[in-house]
Amino acid sequence: MPIVSQRGAIMPPSPIRKLVPFADVAKKRGTHVFHLNIGQPDIETPKQILDAVRHTDIKVLEYSNSAGVESYRKKLVEYYERNNIHLNFNEIIVTTGGSEAISFAIMSCLDAGDEIIIPEPFYANYNSFATSAGVKIVPIPSAIETGFALPPIEDFDKAVTPRTKAIMICNPNNPTGYLYSMEELNVLKDICLKHDLFLFSDEAYREFCYDGRKHISALSLEGLENNAILLDTISKRYSACGGRIGAFVTRNQQVLSTAMKFAQARLSPPSFAQILGEAAVDLPADYFNEVHAEYTSRRDLLVHRLQNMKGVTCPLPGGAFYAMAQLPVADTEKFCQWLLEHFSYKGATVMMAPAAGFYSTPGKGKNEVRLAYVLNKEDINNAMDCLEEALKVYKGE
């Protein structure tokens, strides 16, 4: 029998989705599953942007420019301008979700065998895209005890080798919710300039910053014009995950030209979702006020409940809509599977993402989980009731 590729064999499974079969079985036996495992918001996609698609009179659904529809890219210039990022539309390539933007960055800037430094824990699919490209991730550990703050500059300097080509950050961070300060971004800037590295900045959660703090884009850092690459998406911003529209943004013309070859190879990004994305830029200026307030209250409730459970540690996230929690169990992957297979409380259970899949250092994150506060507060409360009761009765291995 033919065998799969070595590349395919070493591709890591998604820690976010790998327990789905167990959740499906739980639902079939009548157990309600509270999904805190995946960043799929329950906030409705704005009607205005869905209407823009519904009311489109298209006679032929043709390819767009490989870089994306020009009118949409010009609208994105307006959007970024409002966020203190000054661009022209030719510095933007529209991608099929933020995932393709990440892939374009890695494939355009690194060769097989090259290295990319990423503070861990990190978004699990960074591992997948690096594996696909034959690129080695060099993790710089951050710790739950410090709220996952950026590690010291010395840790980065020690990690740089002749094969290091880039540093990757997610700001605000998925999975930790950590929001980088200007001081920390300037540290990263200095490292990149000192070692001539790219800075890949995943800014999918730009709008979700809390406690009066503001997001700072890597593209607004002076002196980093040839190093910074912004990776973006409308998925979380407008609760439009299924639209699969993102953006690859840089002022480095050589990188842009290289990424365009990959964009041409996949022909064009989705047409209807570009219409949706273009309409989203014209949403009322106060659109995010209500959304922001809702996520803030969900965050406060979730973290309060977690911090009041015996043996649980959970830092207060500064952004995004995720929290990382340390649980009083030895192996959260086994615990999360047990929750779905053997536990229910008042006819329900909770699904979380075991955190080991957000690390590349073996053994790290084994007693941690990521929780996405993307459900309404009543559901969050009920999910936390399930978790609290489960921790009381779980016997472990």
The pLDDT averaged over each successive group of 10 residues in the chain (397 residues) is: 90 83 96 95 96 96 97 98 96 98 98 98 95 96 94 93 98 97 96 98 97 96 97 97 97 98 97 98 94 97 98 97 97 96 97 95 95 97 98 85
Same domain, 326 and 260: no
Same domain, 153 and 178: yes
Residue 146 lies in domain: 47-280
Same domain, 93 and 187: yes
In our burial notation (b when 16+ CB lie closer than 10 A, e otherwise), range 159-170 reads: bbeeebbbbbbb
Residue 346 lies in a domain: yes
Same domain, 358 and 296: yes
Residue 1 lies in a domain: no
Same domain, 95 and 153: yes
Same domain, 38 and 56: no
Total domains, the chain = 2
Same domain, 253 and 335: no
pLDDT of residue 18: 81
Domain boundary, last residue among 280, 295, 324:
280
Same domain, 51 and 148: yes
Distance in angstroms between the alpha carbons of the first and the last residue of the chain? 37
| CATH code of the domain in which 79 resides | 3.40.640.10
Domain boundary, last residue among 227, 247, 280:
280
Same domain, 124 and 245: yes
pLDDT of residue 319: 97
Q: What is the pTM of this model?
A: 0.95
**Contact predicate 328/11, CB 8 Å:** no
Which structure tokens are listed for 147? Answer: 């709220």
The residue with tokens 């990004």 is 269
pLDDT of residue 89: 98
Residue 292 parent element (H or E): helix 287-307
Residue 199 lies in a domain: yes
| CATH code of the domain in which 347 resides | 3.90.1150.10
